[in-house]
Amino acid sequence: MLPEERGRGAGRALLGELARIARRRGCGRMEWAVLDWNTPSIRFYQKLGAKLRRQWILTRLTGARRSADWRAGRRVVERRSARPPRRS
């Protein structure tokens, strides 16, 4: 959202509708990500009652399907799924 468009209620309306959908679907919570430098958004979310979860670290595998990092991530998943389940 452009800075001059802030404060018109679009973000509140969007999150309100998402919360209604989550409640209808029986979700226990909503989670989303915000960049640590985005203080206007952080303040907005905090005003809504959102709690920042600083102990969580966002993780990602990126790249084209043929790139080395994507292939490495796929190999890890395939290797794990090929193993028999661990017994407790």
45 catalytic? Reply is: yes
Instruction: Say which residues have a Cβ less than 8 Å from residue 44's Cβ, sequence separation at least 6.
Output: 11
Which among 34, 42, 44, 45 is annotated as catalytic?
45
Q: Nearest Cα to 31, choosing from 7, 2, 56?
A: 56
Q: State the catalytic residues.
A: 45
